[in-house]
């Protein structure tokens, strides 16, 4: 039995995934979107157009170590995001070890983890 096909702008789309890849990444920035992008980059999914889907995989789907699609492709993906927004410190920290850049007191520090 042939698998049904969907078409998007004349291009066929498979309905059932045959492969899947797992990854996780974390990103920190003064801007929420930048922290999300950094987390995606660390996870290995930043160079794709993400199409968020549910997390259902068929039993026949095979694990692959990395995404095997041309960069810029549509990538059906199920992901979760943990986000925190912390106020910047009022004064710079003084320590012998290097620390992250100090933000202005009005700024927020976004931390995101993508899994």
Q: Which domains does the chain have, with CATH numbers?
A: 19-89+105-114 (3.50.20.10)
Structure confidence by residue, pLDDT tens digits, 20-61: 888 888 888 888 888 889 989 998 999 999 988 887 888 898
Burial call 45-82: b when 16+ CB within 10 Å, e when fewer? bbebeeeeeeeeeeeeeeeeeebeeeeeeebebebeee
- Checking if the pLDDT of 99 tops 60, the result is no
pTM for this model (two decimals)? 0.66
pLDDT for the residue 62: 92
**Distance separating alpha carbons of residues 58 and 61, to the nearest angstrom:** 6
Range in 12-16, 53-57, 99-103 with the lowest mean pLDDT: 99-103
Task: Indicate the pLDDT class of residue 7, thresholds 50, 70 and 90.
Answer: low
pLDDT for the residue 70: 92
Q: Residue 100 — left, alpha, or beta (φ > 0 → left; ψ -120 to 50 → alpha)?
A: beta
């Amino acid at each position: 039995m042939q698998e049904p096909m969907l078409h998007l702008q004349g291009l066929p789309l498979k309905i059932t995934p045959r492969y899947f890849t797992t990854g996780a990444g974390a990103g920190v920035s003064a801007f929420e979107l930048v922290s999300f992008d950094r987390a995606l980059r660390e996870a290995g999914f930043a160079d794709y157009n993400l199409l968020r889907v549910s997390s259902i995989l068929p039993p026949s789907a095979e694990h692959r170590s990395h995404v095997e699609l041309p960069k810029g492709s549509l990538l059906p993906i199920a992901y979760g995001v943990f986000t925190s927004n912390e106020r910047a410190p009022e004064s710079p920290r003084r320590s012998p070890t290097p620390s992250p850049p100090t933000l202005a007191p009005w700024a927020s520090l976004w931390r995101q983890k993508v899994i």
